[in-house]
Chains A and B, each alone.
Chain A
Amino acid sequence: MDIRLDGIGHAYAKVDVLSDISLDIESGQIVCLVGPSGCGKSTLLRVIGGLERPAQGRVLQLGDPPESCLNPLTYIFQDFALLPWRSVSGNVSLVLEDHGIRGRAAQGIIDDVLSRTKLTDFAKALPKQLSGGMKQRVAIARALAVRPAVMLMDEPLSALDAQTRELLMDDLVDLWTRQPFTAVYVTHNLAEAVRLGHRVVVLSRRPGRIRDIVEIEKPLAEREFGDPDLDAPQRHLWHLMRDEARAADAELLDV
Chain B
Amino acid sequence: MSDVSRATSVAFRGGGFKPRPRRWVGGAVLIGLILLAEWGTRAGWISALTLPRPSDVLDTFRELYESGLLFTHLGLSISRLVIGAAIGASIGISVGVLIGLFSYVRSGLVPLIAAIFPIPKIALLPLFVIWFGIGEGSKYALIAFGTFTPTVVATYGAVDNVDRTLIRMGQSFGLSWWSIVRKIVLPGAMPGILSGLRISLAIAIILLVAAEMLGAEYGIGAYILEAGSLYDLERLFAGVVILSTLGVLVSAGIGVVERHLLGWRT
Contacts and interface: CB of A to CB of B under 8 A. Distances in A.
Interface of A: 49, 51, 70-71, 73-75, 77, 79, 81, 83-86, 94-95, 97-99, 126-128, 142, 146
Given A94-B183, A128-B264, A128-B266, A77 B173 contact: no
A95 B166 CA distance: 12
A75 B265 contact: no
Given A83-B184, A85-B187, A98 B166 contact: no
A181 to B, nearest CB: 16
Which bucket holds chain B's interface residue count?
A: 10 to 19
A83 B166 contact: yes
Given A79-B165, A94-B183, A71 B266 contact: no
Contacts of B263: 126
A126 B263 CA distance: 10
A77 B169 contact: yes
Contacts of B175: 94-95, 98
Contact of B179 (A74, A97, A126): A97
A126 B266 CA distance: 10
Contacts, number: 52
Q: Which among A49, A77, A83 has the greatest number of chain B C-beta atoms within 10 A?
A: A83
B228 to A, nearest CB: 46
19 contacts: A70-B174, A71-B173, A71-B174, A75-B169, A81-B165, A83-B166, A83-B183, A83-B184, A84-B265, A84-B266, A85-B187, A85-B188, A86-B264, A94-B173, A95-B173, A95-B175, A97-B183, A126-B264, A127-B264
Given A71-B174, A146-B173, A81 B179 contact: no
A126 B168 CA distance: 21
Contacts of B184: 83
Contacts of A128: 264-266
Interface string B168-183: 1101111110010001
Contacts of A98: 173-176, 179
Contacts of B171: 51
Nearest to B184: A83
Nearest to B183: A94
A142 B169 CA distance: 11
Given A85-B187, A98-B179, A74 B172 contact: yes
Given A85-B264, A94-B173, 6 more contacts: A49-B172, A51-B172, A73-B172, A74-B172, A74-B173, A85-B187
A83 B166 CA distance: 7
The 7 closest A-B pairs by CB, nearest first: A81-B169, A85-B264, A95-B173, A75-B172, A128-B266, A84-B264, A85-B187
A56 to B, nearest CB: 22
A85 B168 CA distance: 17
Nearest to B165: A81
A124 B263 CA distance: 14
Contact of B168 (A51, A83, A94, A97): A51
A98 to B, nearest CB: 5
Interface string B149-178: 000000000000000011011011111100
Contacts of A51: 168, 171-172
A115 B14 CA distance: 45
Nearest to A87: B264
A228 to B, nearest CB: 38
A255 B94 CA distance: 35
A86 B171 CA distance: 17
A85 B165 CA distance: 15
Contacts of A73: 172
A28 to B, nearest CB: 22
A169 B172 CA distance: 23
B102 to A, nearest CB: 20
A146 B184 CA distance: 19
A179 B264 CA distance: 34
Contacts of A86: 264
B165 A77 contact: yes
Contacts of B188: 85
